[in-house]
Structure 1
Amino acid sequence: MMSDKDLKNSLPAEWAPQSGIQLTWPHAETDWAYMLTEVRSCFAAIAREIAKRELLLIVTPEPEEVRKQISATVNVENVRFMECETNDTWARDHGAITLLNADGPSLLDFTFNGWGLKFASDKDNLITRQAVEAGFLHGRYINRLGFVLEGGSIESDGQGTLLTTSECLLSPNRNGQMSRDEIEAYLCSVFHLQRVLWLDHGYLAGDDTDSHVDTLARLCSPDTITYVQCTDRQDEHYEALHRMEEQLKTFRTINGEPYRLLALPMADKIEEEGERLPATYANFLIMNDAVLYPTYRQPENDARAGEVLQEAFPEYEIVGIDCRALIKQHGSLHCVTMQYPAGVLK
């Protein structure tokens, strides 16, 4: 495994050219066991849309079984199956974070500790290294296991700006020994950033991640941010999301201009056993020529979210996928996927 000393890397935006996407498949030993058929159907729908357009890496302890599950509906010629033990399915947070440099991609392996020691993560924390060693991911492996970081907690514009939330990155059960200034300096050093934009407000009831930015606000281009807007003053989220909206208005692009802010609707309340689930339209996946976004069987909200995303991505195909199954375990479409830039998946 090579050192990253003296490497000059850049953290690409999600809309940078991609080689493929990772899914980590649900199985009977995960928390999905009680609803395995339902969630596998959702994963298969996501896999189908990905494999139409890009390579798909499926990480699973039972590759032949998964192949049988999806072969009727998914273009398996575009699927790579990696046999690997896993705790859960949230590839966004245990997947490699890729940097790009003149010599090719570098695959940074941070510690994933189950969102601040909430859930077991020992197997998931080994996936990136195993994927590199087995030849599924191509690039320079860089060990960053001294720092806890999840992919869902950061957004990059590819031009030196990182968008994140203070609630997550300052969580005491992640890098509690470090101050905000120290964390920012570390991120700027590792990702060669010019600045970090910290969102200090915003949350979703039922979210396990301590307010991952990919549930709240997303960079769609160097000058555009989509965000969850709550207009119902009676909703428990109203005050926090209103403050987030006001803070977003103060942010400036790398060129000093106000961002174009596009408001996504707040999903209507969805509950299971009296608990509100974190349904969010911000949890979309940007691909090379399409944006896959979660829908929640709320026709008006689902349609409006698609319209906003079409405005944000006018040249892309906007594809909705029913993700009510995913929010039962407190995540959504972006949370279960990890994109890899050109050159990583082959």
Structure 2
Amino acid sequence: MTDETIHLLPEWAPQSALWVGWPRLAEEWSGDLAGPRAEIAAFIKAAAEYVPVRVAAGSDEAANSASAALEGAGEIVRIPTGDIWLRDTGPIVTGKGAQRQAQAFHFNGWGGKYLMPGDTETAGAVAAHEGLPVIQHDLILEGGGIDADGTGRLLTTRQCLLNPNRNPELDQDKIEAAICSALGVSDFIWLGDGLVNDHTDGHVDNIARFIAPGHALCQRPSGDGDPNAETLAEIETSLRRAGLEVSTIPSPGLIRDEDGNPVPASHMNFTITNGAVLVPVYEDHYSLVALAELQALFDGRKVIGLPARHILNGGGSFHCMTREIPA
């Protein structure tokens, strides 16, 4: 792979903008938009110190509430959105030399589980605002289901990408071929399952991320009751068997919802941008340790921990709600 071929840039490459979703569908947040909006506003204000932030508002009410909450911290853009999950509904931007293209894939609501009006129009709208040419693909693919190191390697999970609720007519070889053609990757590293109760069917951005070429990060279990202990151990083993350099940080451990069920809380769902890494934290000892260890790994970037418990109630966190535009 050369810089003159289509390739998927890593998240740590320089960015011209960072898109962030703004909550608008109260029914997706158990009727309470105040909590997630406050946490996302804090995220946007922190990110805006490092990168131009564009806030995707899917309704007039969303645009007005974002304007009031952000006090000029980001550019509010009125485009079609279902809700905040731009990692999956927005475009995946590739490079070819200095050129950038928006790769748009079909989106079916995470296997038909959550269908929100506007989601299928978001990728094209973001690309149009950025002045990027759009290449439309037949494959169903969510950005949170893949992670790249910029040298041709791609992390993903069988639970998501091979799930029959996505592309039932395609086997693994055909899915690999379609992604290689669209994104210019060459080396697939397949993990198994994602976190317990993750409605995305095991998105990789909740369990393993590249932080440098050939260097993957994952979580180690925290506490005796970590609901993902076996899965996390298997992920680390699989990454090492793939020949990668592997670092670990602690998971948040067992975090429950109002009904007492484990929720897919993860320190891996961070967003990397120019000069900073914004990390979801859950006000416990494990988050403090994770932040310290991440700071040692991200030399030259400031690691910023921000509360994300209300965002998690909607099913994701910082990485899920953002989409970077490579410079």
Shorter-chain TM band? over 0.9
Aligned to 2:70: 70
Aligned to 2:132: 139
Deviation of 1:34 (Å):
1.6
Displaced runs of 4+ in structure 1, greater than 3 A? Answer: 231-236
1:271-326: CA deviation from partner (whole Å, max 9, x where unpaired): 1212211110011111111110010011x211111122112211110100100111
Question: Which deviates the most, 313-322 or 230-239?
Answer: 230-239
Computed over aligned residues only, the root mean square deviation of the Cα atoms, in angstroms, reads 1.7
**1:122-161 equivalence runs, <5 A:** 122-133=117-128, 136-144=129-137, 146-161=138-153
Change in 2 beyond 3 A, CA 1:103/1:266: closer
1:134-180: CA deviation from partner (whole Å, max 9, x where unpaired): xx212211112x11111111111111111111110001111111001
Give the AA of the match of 2:68.
K
Change in 2 beyond 3 A, CA 1:64/1:238: closer
Q: With the length of structure 2 as denominator, give the TM-score of the two structures.
A: 0.93
**1:288 equivalent in alignment to 2:274:** yes
Q: Which runs of 5+ in 1 are unaligned?
A: 1-6, 253-258
Aligned-partner SS, 2:173: helix
1:50-105: CA deviation from partner (whole Å, max 9, x where unpaired): 1111111111112233212221xxx43xx222212432211111111000113510
- 2:157–2:194: 8 Å Cα contact kept in structure 1? no
- Please give the alpha-carbon distance, in whole angstroms, between the structure 1 residues aligned to 2:246 and 2:126: 37
- Please give the alpha-carbon distance, in whole angstroms, between the structure 1 residues aligned to 2:105 and 2:247: 31
**1:56 equivalent in alignment to 2:53:** yes
**1:203-242 equivalence runs, <5 A:** 203-230=194-221, 235-242=226-233
Aligned to 1:326: 311
Change in 2 beyond 3 A, CA 1:296/1:231: closer
Deviation of 1:132 (Å):
3.2
Aligned to 1:16: 13
Give the AA of the match of 1:65.
S
Aligned-partner SS, 2:317: coil
Aligned to 2:248: 263
Deviation of 1:232 (Å):
5.1
**1:244 equivalent in alignment to 2:235:** yes
Give the AA of the match of 2:148.
S
Aligned to 2:160: 168
- 1:30–1:87: 8 Å Cα contact kept in structure 2? no
**1:193-212 equivalence runs, <5 A:** 193-200=185-192, 202-212=193-203
- Please give the alpha-carbon distance, in whole angstroms, between the structure 2 residues aligned to 1:189 and 1:183: 10
- Please give the alpha-carbon distance, in whole angstroms, between the structure 2 residues aligned to 1:84 and 1:40: 18
- 1:104–1:139: 8 Å Cα contact kept in structure 2? no
1:196-234: CA deviation from partner (whole Å, max 9, x where unpaired): 11112x421221111100000110001321101126565
Deviation of 1:193 (Å):
1.7
**1:101 equivalent in alignment to 2:96:** yes
- Please give the alpha-carbon distance, in whole angstroms, between the structure 1 residues aligned to 2:116 and 2:315: 16
Aligned-partner SS, 1:31: helix
Give the AA of the match of 2:181.
S
Aligned to 1:4: none
- Please give the alpha-carbon distance, in whole angstroms, between the structure 2 residues aligned to 1:221 and 1:250: 18
**1:335 equivalent in alignment to 2:327:** no
- Please give the alpha-carbon distance, in whole angstroms, between the structure 1 residues aligned to 2:314 and 2:13: 29
- Please give the alpha-carbon distance, in whole angstroms, between the structure 2 residues aligned to 1:23 and 1:34: 21
- 1:8–1:101: 8 Å Cα contact kept in structure 2? yes
- Please give the alpha-carbon distance, in whole angstroms, between the structure 2 residues aligned to 1:235 and 1:282: 15
Aligned pair count reads: 320
Give the AA of the match of 1:188.
C
Question: Which deviates the most, 222-231 or 149-158?
Answer: 222-231
Give the AA of the match of 1:275.
N
Change in 2 beyond 3 A, CA 1:327/1:65: closer
Aligned to 1:256: none
